[in-house]
Amino acid sequence: MAKKWFWLSGCLAAGALLTVLSPNKDPRYLAPLLPLLALVLARGWLALPLPLLGLGLVVAGGLTASTRARAIERQGTPPEPLEAIVRYLQAQKPMAARTLIVVPSTGSLNQHNVSYYGRRAGGQLVGRQLGNNPAQIPAALASAEQLLLGTGFQGSVGAEAQVFSDSIRNSGLFKLEQSWPKPWGGTFELWQRKQTAPKAKGFADRFPLLAAGLAEGPKGLAPLFDAIGVQHQLDGHRSYQVQVRQQALTELRRDPNNATGPMEPWPCLAYCKTAP
């Protein structure tokens, strides 16, 4: 029995520690602890060994203090300008399908709640995140339209985000369109691609050549899916898929038996033959 309680207490302590250390969305991380807490409550506090009872009280007290501290902090701190940023973007092109690249990631402003507010009332603004990998810089410089950068505390993103942001600012391809002050100092900056800045060839045009690499077997997977992963951040609506599918359907209508030959790079042909 003692070993079981030792295991349970270890899981609770580790879960509580990781929750406290998390810089973003920590209430969500409490979910795995709930079944363990239910077991403790079902067993009853009086049945617990004294050390485990003390640990439970410490964990409960720490979580309560953390919750109260966050509540006090929020009461005395103005919210980050999430809604103001979304309203500004939607006022530019109401109901247009657009993607905002969000580099900072704090508890109250990140790519997820940009999407939440951007999709309300039928809006088509979604947030996606780039910046944690320097390898994403060339794709962002080539294709990104709007990016939200930050100065000061960046949240849960790493030092690579600063390298990414500096590359955007110094590229000459983007202009600073608007900025908003942050509650704890620093700013959020909206950078817009200039009208005269060139853009890379559309991903729908590049996709067939990338997909052709699948003929090489497993080693052809990484280049394709790495490119798709970045593209889905640059275009949260995945608009290239419509164009790719339409081109494949056009080829099928031209030649229904063309499973290979000049259209060999199109892996969606088999799907398109059976799709409604």
Report the chain's mean pLDDT, rounded to a whole number: 80
Residue 208: predicted pLDDT: 83
What gap in Å lies between CA 103 and CA 132, rounded to an integer? Answer: 8
What gap in Å lies between CA 172 and CA 167, rounded to an integer? Answer: 9
Task: State the burial class of residue 260 (Cβ atoms within 10 Å of its Cβ: 0-12, 13-18, 19+).
Answer: exposed
| Cβ-based neighbours of 175, under 8 Å, separated by 6 or more | 191, 192, 194
Query: CA angle 23-24-27, nearest 5°?
Result: 110
Residue 2: predicted pLDDT: 62
Confidence at 263, pLDDT banded by 50, 70, 90:
very low
Mean pLDDT of 129-145: 92
Residue 169: predicted pLDDT: 96
Mean pLDDT of 61-89: 66
> In terms of pTM, does the model score above 0.75?
no
Mean pLDDT of 62-76: 53
Mean pLDDT of 133-155: 92
Residue found under tokens 């950078």: 191
pLDDT tens per residue across span 224-246: 888 999 999 999 999 999 888 88
What gap in Å lies between CA 23 and CA 107, rounded to an integer? Answer: 7
- The yes-or-no verdict on residue 73 having pLDDT over 70 is no
Confidence at 33, pLDDT banded by 50, 70, 90:
confident
Mean pLDDT of 142-165: 90
From the CA atom positions of the chain, what is the Rg in Å? 25
Task: Give the best-scoring range by mean pLDDT among 81-85, 166-170, 184-188, 261-265.
Answer: 166-170
Kindly state the percentage of the chain with pLDDT values over 90. Answer: 35
- The yes-or-no verdict on residue 77 having pLDDT over 50 is no
Residue 56: predicted pLDDT: 64
Task: State the burial class of residue 239 (Cβ atoms within 10 Å of its Cβ: 0-12, 13-18, 19+).
Answer: middle
